[in-house]
Structure 1
Amino acid sequence: MTGIEVQIEPWTDTDLALLRRVNTPEMKKHVGGPETEEQLLVRHGRYLDFVPSGLGCMYRIVLQPGGEAVGTVGYGTRTWAGGTVHEMGWNVLPGHQGRGIAAAAARAAVAAARREAAHRFLHAFPAVDNPASNAVCAKAGFTLVGETDFEFPPGRFMRSNDWRVDLRG
């Protein structure tokens, strides 16, 4: 990633276009495929509400110098294993993958969660057959808890790895 600085910036209303850019069959092959426009609008609204509701924070990933938005990273609140945790996810546009951008953005989002998140644990649940996202977890400081059946999107179960960060540790 020589010469590239990754910043994360809070989600705004103008980021709907970025959300549409990551909503492709290639980008969503491990999570049930692309969403409909209606589903995207609901997701965008949820991302905008994360901070005001205290449920998490979504960011756009921005390359410096230049300020090009190349993906998304963030965390929200969910119930998991009988408790309330944060769940992190990310997307990096295809032309920018394989350069360490997702791992750098995930590390930045973990650092932000350590300062801001309400719950102790932050999880990520990449599909076991998604080596790139599992590598991001390892590079971003997550610890592999084990394999699990994970529901995402609602109504679709997938075999995932459960990665976790202790935000207070």
Structure 2
Amino acid sequence: MESTVGLEPWAEDDFWLLLRKNEPAMTEHLGGPETEAKLRDRHRRYLAMSAGEPEAGRMFRVVADGESVGSIGFWERVWQDEEVYEAGWSILPEFQGRGLAARAARALVVHAGVHGARRHLHAFPAVDHPASNAVCRAAGFELLGEVRFEYPPGQWHASSDWRAVLGGDDGS
């Protein structure tokens, strides 16, 4: 039986999830673990996103069959002179390989399409991160090609540029 996957708005009690996701294996493609102070800043930003205007973006806790399994969200950015949303996600190691990230990403596309004000949602996984690229493919994103992408600030790497069209049009 397939797990039920839902998105719950990021809440005050979700800081533990940032701590869990801060392990070296979970941050290998994100520049490595962060200090607790940086995690607390990130938590405050996520809470502010949950309290702010929905079209500016949202962070969510991914829940599968009632259990917290990771996080996913989208936020505003300018990419190649277009105002778009960027998406990012992370599923805890013990829940990986079950298709939960792809199902959460599909739900995120729907949410951003309904509540957002931008036409496109992009994801930029490292080209050498096959799992995240597979999530994009399984979630229905279109691969636009390879780009140089900066994350974290000051660290450039080869990334795949995946795009989902929001609002049900073909993006042309």
TM norm. shorter chain > 0.5: yes
Given residue 150 of structure 1, which amino acid in structure 2 is its aligned partner? F
Matched, 1:23 2:25: no
Q: Which ranges of 4 or more aligned residues in structure 1 deviate by more than 2 Å?
A: none
TM-score normalised by length of structure 1: 0.94
| Correspondence list, 1:125-136, <5 A | 125-136=124-135
Give the drift of 1:84.
1.6
Q: Which moved more, 1:112-121 or 1:43-52?
A: 43-52
User: What is the Cα deviation at residue 23 of structure 1?
Assistant: 1.0
Give 1:1-169 correspondences, 5 Å limit.
2-51=1-50, 52-53=52-53, 54-64=55-65, 67-168=66-167, 169=169
| 1:106, distance to aligned residue in structure 2 (A) | 0.6
Deviation string for 1:12-60 (max 9, x for gaps)?
A: 1111111111111000101111111111111111111124144201110
Structure 2 unpaired stretches of 5+: none
Count of residues in Structure 1 that have an aligned counterpart in Structure 2: 166
Instruction: Compute the RMSD of aligned alpha carbons.
Output: 1.1
Partner SS state of residue 8, structure 2: strand
- Which stretch shifts more, 41-50 or 140-149? 41-50
Of 43-52 and 156-165, deviating more is 43-52
Equivalents in 1 of 2:2, 2:87: separation in Å? Answer: 26
Amino acid paired to 2:118: H
Tell me, what secondary structure is at the counterpart of 1:35?
coil
Residue ranges of structure 1 left out of the alignment (5+ in a row): none
Give the share of equivalent positions with the same residue, in percent.
52
Instruction: Give the C-alpha shift of residue 83 in structure 1.
Output: 2.1
Q: Residue 112 of structure 1: SS of its match in structure 2? A: helix
SS at match of 1:160: strand
More helix by share: 2
Inter-partner Cα distance in structure 2 for 1:115 and 1:25: 35
Q: CA deviation at 1:82?
A: 1.2
Shift of 1:3: 3.6
